[in-house]
């Protein structure tokens, strides 16, 4: 395990770290199964912040939990592969891994921060216990003393003083609890941190502070983040590339800039209008009419067509493929973009001309400029 602990920012960025191919996830089996995730392809690169957006209920959490095999019953994975690339160059398919193998790679390779910090920490155990037990499980030869030192160091990284070690979750504020979760997620210096709505339950000020700390930590340690949120405007500030989900499918994937400045899918466009940008002038929030479909009775053709204001005649019958369009590795599932000439002006703005993903110069600064240039 020790090789995971010495890895740091010097890792080369850019090559694939977690590859999800053709992932399908159902709730339940047989005829009344709910198809919560359908045929998702997603690649998380080394050091990248990959955003996963979509209305709530679109299958974001299901995707993340299934990819890590943490999804609870009645969730079942029905197809696909999830390939994890180790530092050493070896590759593991998480969907084929047994209990033991999963236990070893969990937290040391992939860690998790989930939404409600209140419930993510065990209410009857001290912060110290919860910080150190992952160390104890993964690094058996680590002494009690050094586990404690590491816990202090981790708390320090998120700005919490060492005297909080003995506290219990109910004694901490919501923001502190989420910081503890983040510190905990970094305990074994994983390559990947999955964050499912990590700041949704927090007030805006705390949310900002934590996001900034997070980006700092990312720059220091170079881990990749799969950042899940329903709040697309937040992703645009921190993510390198963004994937948008609708009804369990990916509908568009592009670099954050490209997606923000030049959305290609009507659903992405709708999402962009659903939230005021954190920075920049306010734009009227038009959102998306209607509500997400019942996964048991999905519409025919393009699953978005009942809510799509650009829908074509064929959209009700033919499902559009998720196919490459334009430059920079963007993929979109919409007939308007195949061929792109048929797209209306809102969906045909010029590409900002960036690569799909390139390491951001200063993640934080760049994010701000992105937001600032919203007008």
Ligand X SMILES: Nc1ncnc2c1ncn2[C@@H]1O[C@H](COP(=O)(O)OP(=O)(O)O)[C@@H](O)[C@H]1O
> Where on the chain is the footprint of ligand SF4 (CB under 6 A)?
266, 302, 304-305, 308, 310-312, 315, 320, 334-336
36 binds, among another protein, ligand X, Mg ion, none (CB under 5 to 8 A by kind): ligand X
61 binds ligand X (CB under 6 A): yes
Regarding 60 and contact with ligand X (CB under 6 A), the answer is yes
Quick check: 247 and 303 in contact, CB under 8 A?
Answer: yes
| Least separation in angstroms between CB 363 and ligand X | 25
How far apart are alpha carbons 82 and 19 in whole angstroms?
Answer: 6
CB under 5 to 8 A by kind: which of Mg ion, another protein, ligand SF4, none does 310 bind? ligand SF4
| 137 versus 298: smaller Cβ distance to ligand SF4 | 298
- Nearest approach, Cβ of 237 to Mg ion (angstroms)? 20
Pairing of strands 110-113, 241-246: unpaired
Nearer to another protein among residue 119 and residue 362 (C-beta): 119
58 binds ligand X (CB under 6 A): yes
Give the contact letters, 36-55, x = binds to another protein (CB under 8 A), - = no: --xx----------------
The residue count for binding Mg ion (CB under 5 A) is: 1
Contact call for residues 186 and 154 (beta carbons, < 8 A): yes
Closer to another protein at the Cβ: 169 or 360? 169
Q: What angle do CA 36, 38, 40 make, to 5 degrees?
A: 120
Report which of 111, 101, 115 is spatially closest to residue 131, judged by C-alpha positions.
111
Nearest-approach distance from CB 14 to ligand SF4, in angstroms: 31
Pick 60 or 265: Cβ nearer Mg ion: 60
Range list of H helices, 264-361:
266-272
Residue with tokens 């009700």: 316
**62 is a site residue for ligand X (CB under 6 A):** yes
The answer to whether residue 61 forms part of the interface with Mg ion (CB under 5 A) is yes
Cβ-based neighbour number of residue 15 at 10 Å? 11
**Residue of 4, 45, 53, 59 interacting with ligand X (CB under 6 A):** 59
Q: Could you tell which of ligand SF4, ligand X, Mg ion, none binds residue 311, using a CB distance below 5 to 8 A set by kind?
A: ligand SF4
Span near another protein by CB under 8 A; candidates 13-21, 49-57, 84-92, 119-127: 119-127
208, interface contact from Mg ion, ligand X, another protein, none, CB < 5-8 Å by kind: none
Q: Least distance in Å: CB of 293 to ligand SF4?
A: 12
Give the one entry of ligand X, ligand SF4, another protein, none that residue 295 binds, where binding means its C-beta sits below a cut-off of 5 to 8 angstroms depending on kind: ligand X
Report yes or no: 207 and 238 within 8 Å, Cβ to Cβ. Answer: no
Please, where are the H alpha helices in the chain?
A: 2-6, 60-67, 99-105, 117-120, 127-138, 144-157, 174-185, 204-221, 232-238, 256-261, 266-272, 363-372
Give the residue with the Cβ less far from ligand X, 26 or 109. Answer: 26
Gap between the Cα atoms of 120 and 184, Å rounded? 11
Can you give the C-alpha Rg of the chain in angstroms?
Answer: 21
CA 188 to chain centre: 20
Is 137 near another protein (CB under 8 A)? yes
Residue 108 binds to another protein (criterion: CB under 8 A):
yes
Backbone CA torsion sign across 118, 123, 126, 128 = negative
Instruction: Classify 102 as helix, strand or coil.
Output: helix
Provide the minimum distance between the beta carbon of 218 and another protein in the complex, in angstroms, as a whole number: 19
Helix (H) or strand (E) holding 228, with range, is: strand 224-228
Q: Which residues contact 361 (CB under 8 A, 6 or more apart)?
A: none
Per rule CB under 5 A, is residue 38 in the interface with Mg ion? no
Q: 25-44: which residues touch ligand X (CB under 6 A)?
A: 27, 34, 36
Query: Which residues are at the interface with ligand X (CB under 6 A)?
Result: 27, 34, 36, 54, 56-62, 74, 295
């Amino acid at each position: 395990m020790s090789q995971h602990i010495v890895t740091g920012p010097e890792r080369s960025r850019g090559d694939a770290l977690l590859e999800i191919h053709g992932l399908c996830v159902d709730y339940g089996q047989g005829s009344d199964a709910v198809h919560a995730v359908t045929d998702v392809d997603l690649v998380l690169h080394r050091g990248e912040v990959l955003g996963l957006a979509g209305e709530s209920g679109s299958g974001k959490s299901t995707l993340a939990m299934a990819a890590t095999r943490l999804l609870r019953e009645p969730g079942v994975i029905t197809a696909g592969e999830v390939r994890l690339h180790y530092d050493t160059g070896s590759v593991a398919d998480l969907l084929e891994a047994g209990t033991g193998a999963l236990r070893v790679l969990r937290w040391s390779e992939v860690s998790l921060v989930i939404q409600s910090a209140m419930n993510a920490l065990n209410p009857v155990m001290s912060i110290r216990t919860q910080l150190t037990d992952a160390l104890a499980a993964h690094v058996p030869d680590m002494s009690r003393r050094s586990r404690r030192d590491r816990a202090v160091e981790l708390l320090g990284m998120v700005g919490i003083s060492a005297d909080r070690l003995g506290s219990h979750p109910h004694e901490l504020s919501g923001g502190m609890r989420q910081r503890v979760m983040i510190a905990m997620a970094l305990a074994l210096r994983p390559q990947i941190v999955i964050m499912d709505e990590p700041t949704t339950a927090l007030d805006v000020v705390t949310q900002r502070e934590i996001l900034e700390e997070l980006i700092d930590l990312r720059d220091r340690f170079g881990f990749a983040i799969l950042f899940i949120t329903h709040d697309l405007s937040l992703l645009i500030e921190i993510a390198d590339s963004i994937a948008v989900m609708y009804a369990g499918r990916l509908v568009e994937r592009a670099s954050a800039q490209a997606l923000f400045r030049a959305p290609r899918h009507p659903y992405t466009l709708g999402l962009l209008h659903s939230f005021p940008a954190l920075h920049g002038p306010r734009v009227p929030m038009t959102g998306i009419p209607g509500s997400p479909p019942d996964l048991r009775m999905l519409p025919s053709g393009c699953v978005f067509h009942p809510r799509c204001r650009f829908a074509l005649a064929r959209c009700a019958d033919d499902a559009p493929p998720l196919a490459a369009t334009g430059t920079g590795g963007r993929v979109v599932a919409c007939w308007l973009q195949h061929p792109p000439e048929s797209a209306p002006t809102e969906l045909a703005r010029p590409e900002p001309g960036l690569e799909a993903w390139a390491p951001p110069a200063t993640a934080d600064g760049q994010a701000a400029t992105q937001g600032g240039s919203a007008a």
